Amino acid sequence: MDDPTTPDEAPGSGGTSARRATIYDIAQRVGLNPSTVSRALNKPGRTNAATEERIRAAAAELGYRVNPMARALPTGRSGTFAIVLPDITNPVHFELIRGAEQVARAGGFTLIISETEGSAEIERETIEALQSSVDGLLVVASRLDDAALADLARVKPIVAANHSAPSLPSVIPDLAMGLTAAMDHLRDLGHRSVAYLGLSGLQINRSRWELTLDLAMSRDISLVEIAVEAPTVEAGADALRRVRASGVTAVLAYNDLVAHGLLRAARGAGLTLPDAFSVIGFDDIFSAELAVPSLTTLRSPLREIGTNAMETLIDPERNRVPSKVVLPLDLVVRESTARLVERPQ
C-alpha cells in the first residue's frame, strides 16, 4: 500500500498520481507542529534558522510546492510580487531583476515581470491591472510622477527602484557622487564645452540635468542639453549631427545605449573617438567594455538596487513608509575619454 505522505510523482515518470504533499506531510517528516512548518515556509526569518533549513530540506525532498491561491485564502496575501519596468530589452534591467528575483526566491515568493514600453499611460494601466493579484510592486525608472505613484500605492505597496519618489520607499544610485566624478574627469582632461544627451519630459532625466548643470557652472564648463527621443542605440546615433553642430568636445549620455549609438554613428561618419570628442555613458552595462572605443561610464549598482528594493517590498513594516536608500555610483574610465587636444583655428 502506498505511503499516504508520498507527493505526486512527476508527469511521465511512470508512477501513479496520488496527491500533492502538504505542510502536514512535512510536519510529520520533521516531527514539528504544522503551524511551525507553515511559518517557516511562508514567513522566512520568523523561525530558528536551523529549523527553517530542516523544514525546507524536507519540503524539497517531498516535492512540496506552495499553492498561491490556498495561501491567499487565510492571509489575504498571494505571495506574488511584480516588477514593472519601461523596457524589458534594455540590458540595464538584467542585473536589477536578478537581484530582486534572488530575494523573492529566498523568501518563497513568486515574482512576475511586466513591461510598459516607456509609456506613463501603459504603466498606470499595468499597475492597476496587477494590484488585485499581487502583494506589492517594484516600479523601475517610473514614467509617472510622485503624486500618481503615491495614489496607486494606497491600494498595494509600491517601491521605486532606480529613481526617486519622495512619497514612497526608493532605492537609487548616488547621482551627486557619480556626476561629480564625471564632470571632474572631463574638467581634468581639459574639456570646457560638454553636451548632455537626455530624454526630455522625464522626471528621472530632469534631476540628472539640473545636477549636471550646477556641476558644470561651478567648474566653468559650458553645458548644452541635446534631447534624444528614447534611451536607445538608434536615438544616440540620431544625435550625432546635433553633437557635431554644437561644437562640444565631450558628451555625457543618458545611458550606455545612447552612448553606444553615438559611438557607432561617429565611426560611420569617419570620425575617430575620442579625438573628435570624448563620451561618457551611464550604467556600465555588459557591452560597455566591448564598445569601440571601450566606454567610459558611470557604474550603477544595479543588482544591489534590485536586492534592496525587493527586501523593502516584502517587508510590511517598511514597504509603505517613505524612505530613500542611496547606493554608490562610480566612474569607470576606459578609452572613450581622453585629454583635449587643441583644435586648429
Do 292 and 215 share a domain, yes or no? yes
Q: Write down the pTM of the prediction.
A: 0.77
Q: Is the dihedral of CA 47, 48, 49, 50 positive or negative?
A: negative
245 and 204 housed in the same domain? yes
Domain identity same for 129 and 223: no
Helix (H) or strand (E) holding 298: strand 296-299
Residues 194 and 284 in one domain: yes
Q: Could you identify the residue written with the cell 505526486? A: 8
Asked if residue 226 is part of any domain, the answer here is yes
CATH number at residue 318: 3.40.50.2300
| 165 shares its domain with 313 | yes
Going from the C-alpha of 101 to that of each of 24, 41, 106, 176, the distances in angstroms are 28, 17, 8, 28
CA 187 from centroid of its chain's CA atoms: 30
Q: Are 297 and 333 in contact (CB under 8 A)?
A: no
- Does residue 323 fall inside a structural domain? yes
Tell me: do 46 and 79 sit in the same domain: no
- Report if residue 149 sits inside a domain: yes
Q: How far is CA 260 from the centre of its chain?
A: 20
Is the four-CA dihedral 313, 314, 320, 321 of positive or negative sign? Answer: negative
Residues 83, 181 within the same domain: no
**Per residue of the chain (345 residues), what is the pLDDT tens digit?**
333 333 333 333 334 345 678 888 899 999 998 888 888 887 666 778 888 888 889 988 888 876 655 555 455 678 999 999 999 999 989 999 999 999 999 888 999 999 999 999 999 999 999 999 999 999 999 999 999 999 999 999 999 999 999 999 999 999 999 999 999 999 999 999 999 999 987 778 888 999 999 999 999 999 999 999 999 999 999 999 999 999 999 999 999 999 999 999 999 999 999 999 999 999 999 999 999 999 999 999 999 999 999 999 999 999 999 999 999 999 999 999 999 987 655
Q: Are residues 179 and 292 in the same domain?
A: yes
Same domain, yes or no: 121 and 221: no
Looking at the domain assignment, is residue 196 inside a domain? yes
CA distance 316 to 54: 26
Q: Answer yes or no: is 335 within a domain.
A: no
Please report, rounded to a whole number, the percentage of residues in the chain having pLDDT higher than 70. 89
Alpha-carbon distance of 7 to 196, in angstroms, equals 60
40 and 86 fall within a common domain: no
339 occurs within a structural domain: no
The pLDDT of residue 76 is 60
Q: What is the pLDDT of residue 60?
A: 87
Q: How many domains does the chain have?
A: 3
Q: Please tell me what DSSP assigns to residue 194.
A: E
Residue 329 and residue 174 in contact, taking contact as beta carbons nearer than 8 Å: yes
- Domain around 61: 23-65
Residues 259 and 191 occupy one common structural domain: yes
In a domain? residue 10: no
Nearest to 276 by CA among 236, 238, 241, 249: 249
CA 89 to each of CA 53, 66, 129, 215, 337: distance values in angstroms, whole numbers, following the listed order: 36, 30, 22, 32, 27
Q: Quick one: DSSP state of residue 326?
A: E
CATH number, position 47 = 1.10.260
Establish if 229 belongs to a structural domain: yes
